[in-house]
Amino acid sequence: MFKKFLPEEHVNSILEIQPELLKEKGIRGLITDLDNTLVAWNEPSITPELEKWFASLKQAGISTMILTNNSEKRVRIFAGNSQIPYVFRAKKPLTLGFKRAMRRMNLQPDELVVVGDQIMTDIWGANRIGAHSILVVPVAANDGWGTKINRLIERFILMQLRRRGLLKWEDR
């Protein structure tokens, strides 16, 4: 039961994800969460480091998409002039938003990696559609009110995965 929440990889920061390694795995597209994956949930704008990272993905031929449960206004302000495509109000972990992003990217699940900071939304959704999944350590230590509930459930799930010997990383 708990395996559906198990990410295939774990990184401390989205900036650790290298386009070359994705290409070696046959990845042609990256779907990323926004809040606490790219920037803190209350940070309005994209950072220069993230702009450079997105540019490196584009240069490597990897298409990108932001997939968020947040509002269009939130993601539009974040993306600014970067022209990063996005799907808002995705209703993760339901598959609808993931499938919409895949159609817009014209890719199949085995060509995608989904990156996010939450097991209950990002990782479970990625696993439901059959995409590669990467769990990232949240950018901020605090969360919006809705996410706090998910974090409690997430801690229980991580404990169960650890107990079963399924986690391949240590808490940092």
Tell me the whole-structure pTM to 2 decimals. Answer: 0.88
Give the DSSP H or E segment for 29.
strand 29-32
What residue ranges define each of the domains in the chain, with the CATH number in brackets?
A: 2-83+96-108+117-130+140-163 (3.40.50)
In this prediction, residue 149 carries a pLDDT of 75
Instruction: List, as one string, the DSSP characters of 69-131.
Output: SS-HHHHHHHHGGG---EE-S--TTSHHHHHHHHHHHT--GGGEEEEES-IIIIIHHHHHHT-
In this prediction, residue 60 carries a pLDDT of 96
In this prediction, residue 172 carries a pLDDT of 41
The answer to whether 92 touches 122, Cβ cutoff 8 Å, is yes
pLDDT mean across residues, the chain: 90
Give the chain's residues under pLDDT 50. 172
In this prediction, residue 81 carries a pLDDT of 79
